[in-house]
Structure 1
Amino acid sequence: MAKQYTAVQVYEMVDRYYQMKTSLGLAVVSPYSVDQKNTMVQDYDNLGMPRAQGVGDPTARQALNPVHEMVLPERMVKDYEVKVAFIDEWEHVITKQRDRAVLHWRLSGLKPINIAELEGITDRHVRRILNDVAKKMSEMSAMSEMSKVS
C-alpha cells in the first residue's frame, strides 16, 4: 500500500522536489541552463564578441553545474525516491493550464517570486496555487487508495 500524504506534506515535497531529484542524481530540466556549455547567453558567438570560458559568476556556476557526487544515507535515498515517485505519479491530476505551468516551474527549481514574474501574478498567488495543487494531489491519491481497498 502506498504512503498517504497530507496536503502540507505534499506542498513540502513539491517545494523540495528539485533538490531531492538532483540529490539522487536524476536529471531535471533546469530553467536556468541555456546550452550544453552552461553559459548564460546562447547565441553569443553571433554577436561578434569573444566568448568567455564558462560562467564567471560563482552563484550562477553553482546553479548551473551538475550536482557533485553526494553520499546520502540509504534511508534518505529511499525516502527521496518514494517522494519523487509520488509527485511524478500524481502531477497528472492537475488539469488547469496555469496550475500546471506553476507546478512545472516549481518542480524545475524556480522560486515562487521568479514564477510570479514569469506568470504575471504575485508570489502570494503562486503559493496559493501550489497549496491548491498539493491539496488536490493529496486528495486524489487518498481517493485512489480508498477505491483499491473497497
Structure 2
Amino acid sequence: MGKGQIYYSSEEVLEIIDSYFNMKRAIGLHVESPYSYSVTADYDNLGMPKGNGTGDPTFRQAFSGAHKILSGVMEKDFMKRINFIDERVPYIKKRREVNVLHWKLSGMRTKHIAELEGITDRQVRNILRKIAKSISEISAISDISNVS
C-alpha cells in the first residue's frame, strides 16, 4: 500500500457508511437530517405557539459548543473516515445506488429509504453492501496504482 493511502475492507466501509452522519455531527460539521422538518412556519399559519429550539436537554448538552466530546485523535480518525467516503462517492454511478447512499449518509434509516425508493429493507441493505464493496475495491485499486 502506498504511503499515506487508506484501505478499508467492504465490512469496514459499510460500518463507516452506517456511522457517517453521526461522526459528522459528533465533530461539529453541519449536517441536515432528513428527519428535521421545521414546522414553525406552519405553526404561524395555525396560530400555534412557537417552540424555541429542541426540548431534549441531553441533546442540547451533547451537541452544544460548550462541550468538546471528542479527543483530537478521535476527531482526526472521524475526519479521515468521512473524507474517505466523500472522495469515493463520485465513483458511484447507478441512480438507485446514488439515491440510497445519499439518504444513508444523510442519516436516514434503511426502512425509510426502502419506503422512499419503493423497495424492501433487505434490498436497501444489499445495495449498501454492494456500494461498500465497490468503494473498498476502488480504494484498493487506487492504492495499487499509486505504488511506484
CA root-mean-square deviation: 2.5
For residue 43 of structure 1, report the CA deviation from its aligned partner.
Answer: 3.4
Unaligned runs of 5+ in 1: none
Unaligned runs of 5+ in 2: none
1:90 to 88, 91, 96: 88
Counterpart for residue 6 of structure 2: 3
Asked whether the 8 Å contact 1:28–1:108 carries over to 2, the reply is yes
For residue 50 of structure 1, report the CA deviation from its aligned partner.
Answer: 2.0
Moved over 6 A (4+): none
Greater relative contact order structure (CA < 8 Å, 6+ sep): 2
Between the two proteins, the alignment pairs up a number of residues equal to: 143
Distance 1:65 1:122, change over 3 A: farther
* Amino acid across the alignment from 1:28: V
* Amino acid across the alignment from 1:23: A
Identity %: 42
* Amino acid across the alignment from 2:118: G
| Structure 2 length-normalised TM | 0.84
Task: Find the residue that maps to 2:119 and give its secondary structure.
Answer: coil
Distance 1:97 1:42, change over 3 A: farther
Distance 1:42 1:106, change over 3 A: farther
